[in-house]
Amino acid sequence: MGNILKLFSGFLRVEFSGEMPERIFNLSIKNRICLWDSKKNEDAIECSLSVGDFKRLRPIIRGSKIKMHILEKHGIRFKIHKNRRRFGLVIGLIWLLVFLKLMSGYVWIIDIEGNQNLSDGEIISVLETIGIKEGMKASKIDSKIDRERLLLKTEELAWASLNVEGSKLTVNVSEVKSRKPENTACNLISNADGIIKKIDVTSGNCLVKIGDTVKKGDVLVSGIKETGSGTEFIVSQGEIIADIKREISLSEKRNQTVKSFISKTKNKAVLEVFTFKIPLYLTCETEKYESETKLKQAKLFAKNLPFKLYIKSFDFFKEEKIKYTDEQLNLKIENRLKNELKKEKIEDFSLSDKVISLTEEKITLKAIISTEQNIAKKQELNINPTN
């Protein structure tokens, strides 16, 4: 802190010479003048002292045959004096100080702490719905009321606090720990229509047998068991494999517009200072493109600063109108079918009653898909403790 004050107030590097320049130390001590960084140079002594002490020392050494010569000047005051004729610089500095003073009354940084499941972006989006965002006046934030509004808007949060420090708002949160006990009594119900092929139940009261036809929502294994001592509630567990059949229908148009990407990419950047966005480019794109925007947040000591850089990448393409032949349409619809089944994670299957119809406008595929899968799905029992 002392060094910072010296830089602001200014200090001098002075050489003392003449007859017995060492006497300067006695004179300084006697008159309570502070010298530092003393250095002996042949017949002279170099010291540092403040501007005020320098002015006080001048009449003291008069007549002592000690000569005083300024070697260096340090500090902001000398920089300002040197550039005193540069009015634009002075005005700019004044405007900067005024701007920083005005900006200090606004929130420019929002930090979220304590979240694990919810992302920073999700919490910031909720804050925006209650009127809290970057660029707002800090005085408009009521920590007690706004924290309650945040909790009411976000069921996943159990606790929150809002703390404003200068231009930074820190939102500390604690999330609800919603974990259901593993021993909750439940049924196993069917999640699809099918014919039972295999049963492997480890607990619960099985209500179906191999060969039974079941519909979606039917209870397969009950978690309620009647015993001599009363009703027992069980966690039903196991697998029930069923043969599932369902109809699928897909179509593809003969005339389509497809994208053909070209080997041309471009990046454009936008700098956001506080909430002011400054585009770092001049031209606009006229070609067709797909874009993706990435955000780079300026940080200092792992803390966010009110400076952001948005980088938008452009991938350019051309559109072509294509008319598919019958062979191409057949191949396209077959690949579409494979992709649809892959999305549903259906690997072992068979097709029956497959019908492909071709017209001048499109191709249509209809088929029955047969596959075996586990259709048992847990359904928690709603138990009334008063019964």
> Which pLDDT tens digit goes with each residue over 341-360?
888 887 788 888 889 999 99
Residue 59 has pLDDT above 90, yes or no: no
- How many domains does the structure of the chain reveal? 4
Same domain, residue pair 228 and 191: yes
- Reply yes or no on whether the pLDDT at 41 is more than 60: yes
Task: Reply yes or no on whether the pLDDT at 172 is more than 90.
Answer: yes
pLDDT classification of 25: cutoffs 50, 70, 90: confident
pLDDT-derived band at 313 (thresholds 50, 70, 90) equals: very high
**pLDDT for the residue numbered 92:** 74
Q: Note whether 235 and 337 are same-domain residues.
A: yes
pLDDT tier at 7, thresholds 50, 70, 90: low
CA–CA separation, 8 vs 197, rounded Å?
87
Enclosing H/E stretch for 82: helix 76-82
- Over residues 9-18, mean pLDDT: 86
Q: Do 168 and 188 have their domain in common?
A: no
202 and 164 belong to one structural domain: no
Residue 85 confidence (pLDDT) above 80: no
Which residues sit opposite 110 in a β-bridge?
169
Quickly count: other Cβ atoms within 10 Å of residue 2's Cβ. 6
Residue 69: which domain range?
2-80
Q: Give the pLDDT confidence score for residue 384 in this predicted structure.
A: 64
Given 148, 175, 202, the domain boundary residue is 175
Give residue-wise pLDDT tens across range 256-270. 999 888 877 889 999
pLDDT of 136 over the 80 cut? yes
Q: Give the per-residue SS3 of 25-59.
A: HHHHHHCCCCCEEEEEECCEEEEEEEHHHHHHHHH
Measured CA angle at 235 (ends 231, 239), to 5 deg = 125
| 344 compared with 186, residue with greater pLDDT | 186
Flag whether 103 is in a domain: no
Containing 151, the helix (H) or strand (E) segment is helix 143-153
Q: Would 308 be classed as within a structural domain?
A: yes
Lateral strand order in the sheet of 11-18:
36-41, 44-50, 11-18, 66-74
Judgement on whether residues 300 and 212 belong to the same structural domain of the protein: no
| Claim to verify: residue 161 and residue 47 sit in the same structural domain | no
pLDDT on residue 86 = 63
If asked whether residues 281 and 309 sit together in one domain, one would say yes
pLDDT at 348 (0 to 100): 82
Is 332 domain-assigned?
Answer: yes
Looking at residue 154, its amino acid is T
Q: How many CB atoms lie within 10 A of CB 95?
A: 10
Assigned domain for 9 exists: yes
Residue 168: its H or E element: strand 168-175
Q: Answer yes or no: is 129 within a domain.
A: yes
Last-in-domain residue among 121, 142, 175: 175
State whether 372 and 385 are in the same domain.
yes
pLDDT at 149: 92
Q: Is residue 95 part of a domain?
A: no
The pLDDT confidence band at residue 179, using thresholds 50, 70 and 90, is low
pLDDT of residue 232: 87
Query: Model confidence at 295, in pLDDT bands (50, 70, 90)?
Result: confident
Can you say whether the dihedral through the CA atoms of 271, 275, 276, 282 is positive or negative?
Answer: positive
pLDDT of residue 385: 53
Residue 245 sits in the same domain as residue 351: yes
pTM of structure: 0.49
12 and 136 both lie in a single domain: no
Q: Cβ distance 223 to 235 under 8 Å?
A: yes
pLDDT at 180 over 70: no
Answer yes or no: is pLDDT of 2 > 60. Answer: no
Domain CATH code at residue 40: 3.30.70.260
Asked if pLDDT for residue 200 goes beyond 90, the answer is yes
73 with 192, same domain: the answer is no
With contact defined as beta carbons under 8 Å apart, do 16 and 60 qualify? Answer: no
> Do 266 and 278 have their domain in common?
yes
Q: Is it the case that residue 118 has pLDDT exceeding 80?
A: yes
Domain boundary pick from 134, 158, 175? 175
Q: Is residue 91 in a domain?
A: no
Residue 87 falls within a domain, yes or no? no
Per cent of the chain over pLDDT 90 is 39
Rounded-to-10 torsion of CA 286, 292, 296, 302? 170
Average pLDDT of the residues of the chain: 86
- pLDDT at position 360: 92
Q: Would you say residue 132 has pLDDT above 80? A: yes
